Chains A and B, each alone.
Chain A
């Protein structure tokens, strides 16, 4: 057993209202510089939809992530035969058009225009060329199903559905959507780190945060191609790649990352988990459908004496173990079985988990097609407007069972709460639902509390980073204090 600690996250999609506050918080803190205009380290997508960059989930287009031949994992994006002939231009990389051309508005025209019969307007201007621009795309262009016939209809996850289901999903009165906020998953087996020819990317040993060393990056952009979630970005101004840093300067000072802190729906949970790194080489070759549960097996019980002994052996501090024991992520993923990794079939083992959304239900179903809306808001999850197969493709690696389990348990908790607070559900019905969902009354209460009532300290259990101890080993803390802060000690510059 090789026990390590990793900061992990849970996004509760049932609570997300799609307000993009997280994106704006992140943008204002990290990516309002030249060269980063188009980057959204945090973005919120509408599903079904093609997301940002367009169709990022289609790895036939972008060739991100790993593939296994049963004994060996290899990156889809690299390999000598592929890289050498494409060394100056990797065709699998998203172009600016696949993201969007960033723009601002010519606000000055509002003040400077000559007096006339018409109101002056602020025309959109490209932030790349500085010229007027016809806006054709944006980071959330398909927000709330905007442009569905193009964007929602081309969601790669729809491949899991029958043609009938696909058709019905697009028809009026049966439209359904939910939000998918995305940040870097800080994967256990990050493809971006493996792909970097310069060794600029690294996964921090103490907390698993994946970072790009701006001094070492040589603009190969191999990470951009390799990341199947397209969460590394190339800064054209500095000639370096950048990505979500999980606000580590905030974490190190005991604050939640900006997107977590600002989330108005309180959907975001953060905490460290202990996992067994020695299992990774073995489970990386399992079939797609087995990966969710295999990854869950890797996460260790922080109360198990054997795990505690392993943690001590690996030099994990008691403070970090203590915080792992209080981690909401451990509860959602391991105890409740609600947290599911996105597209685990890319085999990077993302450490951001999603609680799948309970969506509106249908009253009847023929030929896999739901027929009408219902008065019964607590009908069976099988009748939900979003077919389980769709969520299975997104969160289960094709395994619908784990999605069904998570949805059924949430549904049972709702019934239990309904019984307790409104009383229109009988105790027997609620108890039966809980039993079918593999959930006790105590667990239902715990899920309810963590979902609905948890305060900031419960949602974000930030482990002690002990920078003070780490720094003391290297230099005088007083000296260190005067030489750090936000920003760069040596600004990144293009070239070697």
Chain B
């Protein structure tokens, strides 16, 4: 091998090693997977330096609480809150009585990694988890109307995700109501305390049913705003979706089946015709 060439190779290798080392120095022990995990499971309720959503802002949480306490709480929030821990009780009140859900697939090892991530992110001036930056513009009637169309599916979602109506309903949905798989969203705006937490939820729905669907087909910012406007509107109007719609659906189904049976019976009224028997009975001269 030519000596000059060897030197050039070595130099290149040295540059690469240095670059890698500096990258690691920036984010010590934080893997891409952990960032992804936080984004999918935590970011809908928590920010880092972005203010309170449903859950508290986690900037500097590792300084406020002990690591062990955090780990225990996160692994089973309901047990800690119900166990009477004073800090947890206070947080619970702060969250308007919403229990923090236990996140599926969470292990103690992973919690440690998440805390490391929070330490790193808290140290930054502007964390990547500062939260969804939506426009603060006032929501208009046009937003409500567009939100209604998106909710009811008359206008498809840009990402290709299914319309909300397939699983959810609100008091404002006419006719037989919407889907019954997910909860009634009539007062979700009030329950999640307003625009920002709701928008954060919609931007990355973390529930086990919604997450796999919306992970690949996220809503865009304008859609989120429109839906927030719509849900704010239904919440202000008050009134949950009536359960009568479900019963009505049942009766409509039964009625429809009966009507179609009668109709089919009329259309095919000659199906049991016979030739010989009426001849013998003498009814057909």
Contacts and interface: CB of A to CB of B under 8 A. Distances in A.
B271 A136 contact: no
A55 B275 CA distance: 7
Contacts of A97: 274, 276-277
Contact of B279 (A94, A95, A154): A154
A91 B275 contact: no
Interface residues of A, number: 20
Contacts of B276: 50, 53-55, 97-98, 137
A54 B267 CA distance: 25
A61 B275 contact: yes
Given A95-B274, A97-B274, A150 B279 contact: yes
Interface string B252-277: 00000000000000011011011111
B282 to A, nearest CB: 8
B280 A55 contact: no
Nearest to B277: A97
A301 interface: no
Given A85-B267, A150-B280, A54 B275 contact: yes
Contacts of B275: 53-55, 58, 61-62, 94-95, 98
Contacts, number: 40
Interface string A314-356: 0000000000000000000000000000000000000000000
A136 B280 CA distance: 10
Contacts of B270: 91
A93 to B, nearest CB: 10
A62 B276 CA distance: 12
B225 to A, nearest CB: 50
A80 interface: no
A89 B268 contact: yes
Nearest to A141: B276
Which of B270, B277, B280, B284 counts the most A-chain CB atoms under 10 A from its CB? B280
Most chain B beta-carbon contacts within 10 A, residue among A61, A89, A91, A94: A91
B191 to A, nearest CB: 52
A50 B274 CA distance: 14
Nearest to A58: B275
Interface in B83-125: none
Contacts of A86: 268
Contacts of A50: 276, 279
B271 A89 contact: yes
A364 to B, nearest CB: 30
A91 B279 CA distance: 17
A58 B278 CA distance: 14
A91 B274 contact: no
A98 B268 contact: no
A55 B284 CA distance: 12
B121 to A, nearest CB: 64
A22 to B, nearest CB: 24
Interface string A127-153: 000000000110000000000001100
Contacts of A61: 273, 275
A137 B275 CA distance: 12
A94 B279 CA distance: 14
Interface string A77-105: 00000000110010100110110000000
Of B270, B274, B276, which is in contact with the most chain A CB atoms at under 10 Å from its CB?
B276
21 contacts: A50-B276, A50-B279, A53-B275, A54-B275, A55-B275, A55-B276, A55-B279, A61-B273, A61-B275, A62-B275, A85-B267, A86-B268, A91-B268, A91-B271, A97-B276, A97-B277, A98-B275, A98-B276, A136-B280, A137-B276, A150-B282
Which 7 pairs between the two chains have the least Cβ-Cβ distance? Answer: A54-B276, A98-B275, A91-B270, A54-B275, A91-B271, A98-B276, A55-B275
Interface of B: 267-268, 270-271, 273-277, 279-280, 282, 284
Given A53-B276, A55-B276, A98-B274, 5 more contacts: A61-B273, A97-B276, A98-B275, A137-B276, A150-B282
